[in-house]
Amino acid sequence: MPDDVAWLNCAYMSPLMKAALAAGEAGMRGKARPWTIAPADFFPGPEEARRLFARIVNAAADEIAIVPSASYGLAVAARNLTAPMGARILLLAEQFPSNVYAWQELARRTGAAIDTVARPADDDWTTAILDRIDDDVALAALPHCHWTDGALVDLERVASALRQVGAALALDITQSGGALPIDVRRIRPDFLVCASYKWLLGPYSLGFLYVDPKYHRGRPLEYNWIARAGSEDFAGLVNYRDDYQPGARRFDVGELSNFTLVPQANAAMRQILDWGVEAIYATLSERNEAIAARAATLGIGSVAQQLRAGHYLGLKFADGVPRGLGQRLAAENIHVSVRGTAMRVTPHLYNTDTDIDRFFAVLERNL
């Protein structure tokens, strides 16, 4: 990255690592020479991607489908979950739209009601969610942390309460997967989706969907050839099959073998696993706590450390984010993003102390 660019905006989009960029370029060169791509080459990349993402969330590879976006994965979830007439679907106020629209459509289809949990004044989303769970709740669609300011949801406590009333849990961890440790064996969600282009440090238009085994005979969103059993035999594709590849593979997007995007995602996830998600989280938590403390001296607040995901920081100004502040920072090559009432400052391992010093120097000049 150029020395004069302070990219404090991983929550918007991560830069590609050199290894991921090289992997994508190699894939493009292969497509330029299609005679070098054999039928057997369609499968190893996606299977490695399944294994790598499974390790990040502590799942089995058979429980992972490859999807093009979080919205695609959530549409799969909505197609396989139910919310009867009069039941409630729990959402959070100001939740990311892709984890809202699918559930609004499900509610319209079934007669269920959307129940939006208001933003708690004390930023304690966990307690606010727990207070709304009762026998009328059919499912909850939640993030691991709120996308505007990083406020954390204790998913183990929430998931346990949902199970007690027989409610399902669908998660979008796009703003946490790869930087905030998560264990699906402990949380036991029904579905979990994660786009690649943020904290997984991967490409745009690729993501992953965890599917609990009880849904492995469910209905996919589309009906493509490669998800069917026997698709490895290209000559035999005219022998149409009703059965699918095992596990969550029936939910794979068509053309999942993308020879440019999949190698990028795999290179990025290999590096994440080499660093370790726990180590990434510890490092980013230390960085963000220092930023939050420094911002506090300027009268700028944030969600309290014990209620915030450590890798994520949303700065809050007493009178709201000053108009045009994000643009003024960007004009000096300091990049953050404004979402809702917070200014997100989301560094990653590529950021330096100099980046932070430049951010505060420009911030102070513009307050």
Looking at residue 61, its amino acid is: A
Query: Buried b vs exposed e over 38-74: b needs ≥16 C-beta within 10 Å?
Result: eeeebeebbebbbbbbbbbbebbbbbbbbbbbbbbbb
d(CA 96, CA 267): 27
180 confidence band (pLDDT: 50, 70, 90): very high
d(CA 188, CA 182): 11
As given in the structure block, the two tokens for residue 151 are: 């406020």
* Interstrand relation of 191-195 and 6-7 (parallel, antiparallel or unpaired): unpaired
Q: Is 245's pLDDT higher than 90?
A: yes
Contacts of 4 (CB under 8 A, 6+ apart): 333
d(CA 228, CA 49): 19
Length of the chain: 367
CA dihedral 354, 359, 360, 363 (to 10 degrees): 160
Q: pLDDT for 160-174, tens place per residue?
A: 999 999 999 999 999
Report angle CA 158, 163, 167 to the nearest 5 degrees: 95
Q: pLDDT for 322-356, tens place per residue?
A: 999 999 999 999 999 999 889 999 999 999 999 99
The mean pLDDT value of the chain amounts to 97
pLDDT (average), residues 303-313 = 97
Would you state the pLDDT for residue 249? 98
Provide the H-helix boundaries in the chain.
Answer: 18-32, 44-57, 70-80, 98-110, 125-130, 155-164, 184-187, 261-275, 277-296, 325-331, 353-365
Q: Is 246's pLDDT higher than 90?
A: yes
Would you state the pLDDT for residue 19? 97
Q: Is the dihedral of CA 331, 332, 336, 340 positive or negative?
A: negative
112 confidence band (pLDDT: 50, 70, 90): very high
pLDDT (average), residues 121-139 = 97
CA 325 remoteness from chain centre: 27
Looking at residue 197, its amino acid is: Y
| pTM of this structure | 0.97
270 confidence band (pLDDT: 50, 70, 90): very high
16 confidence band (pLDDT: 50, 70, 90): very high
Would you state the pLDDT for residue 166? 98
User: DSSP letter at 14?
Assistant: P
Would you state the pLDDT for residue 142? 98
Q: Is 44's pLDDT higher than 90?
A: yes
As given in the structure block, the two tokens for residue 17 are: 């690592």
Q: pLDDT for 21-41, tens place per residue?
A: 999 999 999 999 999 999 999
Q: pLDDT for 58-86, tens place per residue?
A: 999 999 999 999 999 999 999 999 999 99
pLDDT (average), residues 102-115 = 98
Contacts of 155 (CB under 8 A, 6+ apart): 142, 144, 171, 182, 187, 189
pLDDT (average), residues 285-298 = 97
Would you state the pLDDT for residue 367? 87
Domains belonging to the chain, first-starting first, are 6-16+276-365 (3.90.1150.10), 19-274 (3.40.640.10)
As given in the structure block, the two tokens for residue 97 are: 């739209």
Report angle CA 195, 196, 199 to the nearest 5 degrees: 100
